[in-house]
Each structure stands twice: as structure tokens, then as C-alpha cells.
Amino acid sequence: MQRKKCLLKASSQRNGIAMIMAITVIVIIATIMALSLRLTSQTSKKTTDLYLYEQAAILSHSAAEYAMLKMSQANPCSIATINYTYNGTYDINTSMLYISTAGSTCESNATAIGRNYGTTAHPTSNGTVIIDVSVMTNQGSEPIRYFRRSIQKL
């Protein structure tokens, strides 16, 4: 019987140290888990915002091509702006400024709509357009606005 009491005393001291070690391990693991959770939430936010930004960039390129298509179907230099919404998420605003030779139909049409950027004396520059495309969305964690300017020949 005395042996059992001796073992119990030694065992109770070991249990006390084991309890302190277990609490320390739990605290370390909890700290690592908290840091991991924080990193995961930041990564998903950045991924979502990056996806929305990249989609806005692609939509701006498509909007510039769509504006060129509409300008080719209309009278020369007669379209001032094209505004539309894509998928209920992105607001796309396209505005055009025209550069033409003095006295051309392009100059008179652009002046009539108030979008004449200027005239040039060189005949090969007749029918040049500056296209400004703005794509906006509020879907992510912060609003995203992408702006693109390009110069195209008509």
C-alpha cells in the first residue's frame, strides 16, 4: 500500500507540470490559428477586389471596341457618349472627343454635339477620336473605378 501512495504523489506532481505544458501548447496553437484566420480573411478580400478590378479592365477594353463599332455605324463624329450597365454590377461610361480637319463633315458634326477636341491641317488626321472609358462598381469591399483613354482612327 505504501508503494501506491508513493506513486500517487509522484504522479500528482507530473500532472501539474503536464497541465501547465498543455495550457502553453493550447495558447500557442490558438495564437497560430488566430493569425491564420486573419491571413485567410485578408487574402479572400484581396482576391475579390483583384477579380473585380481585372474584370473592370477587360470591360473597359470591350467598351472602347463597342464605341468604335457604334461610331462606324453612325454619321461621322456624331456620337458624344455611350452609357450602359453590365450585368447590373458595372456602370460603364464612354465619352468621345473628335479631332478632324477644318471644314470637314466630321468637324461640323463634332461641333454640333459639343465634342470637338480640335482641328488639324494634316488630311490624314481627319477622323481621329479620343475615347475615355470609365468603369465603376461598388460590389467589392471598397468601390472600384477603372479609367482608360485611347486614341483611335475612324
Average pLDDT for consecutive 10-residue bins of the chain (154 residues)?
A: 52 70 93 89 81 93 94 87 92 91 80 79 77 90 90 86
Cβ proximity of 109 and 101 under 8 Å: no
Q: Could you tell me which residues come within 8 angstroms of residue 75 by beta carbon, excluding any fewer than 6 positions away? A: 105, 109
Please tell me the predicted confidence (pLDDT) of residue 1: 47
Contact 137, 50 (CB under 8 A): no
CA dist., res. 80 & res. 111, Å (int): 10
Residue found under cell 462606324: 72
Q: Please choose, from the candidates 59, 64, 128, 78, the residue with its C-alpha nearest in 3D space to the C-alpha of residue 99.
A: 128
Q: Looking at residue 107, what is its pLDDT?
A: 80
Predicted local distance difference test score (pLDDT) of residue 44: 75
Taking the C-alpha atoms of residue 138 and residue 93, their distance in angstroms, rounded to an integer, is: 15
Q: What's the confidence (pLDDT) of residue 92?
A: 95
With cell 468604335, the residue in question is 68
Domain that holds residue 141: 2-153
Structure confidence at residue 11 (pLDDT) = 52
Asked whether 77 and 112 are in contact (CB, 8 A), the reply is no
Q: In this predicted structure, what is the pLDDT of residue 3?
A: 54
Tally of domains in the chain: 1
| Sequential DSSP letters for 52-71 | HHHHHHHHHHHHHHHHHHHH
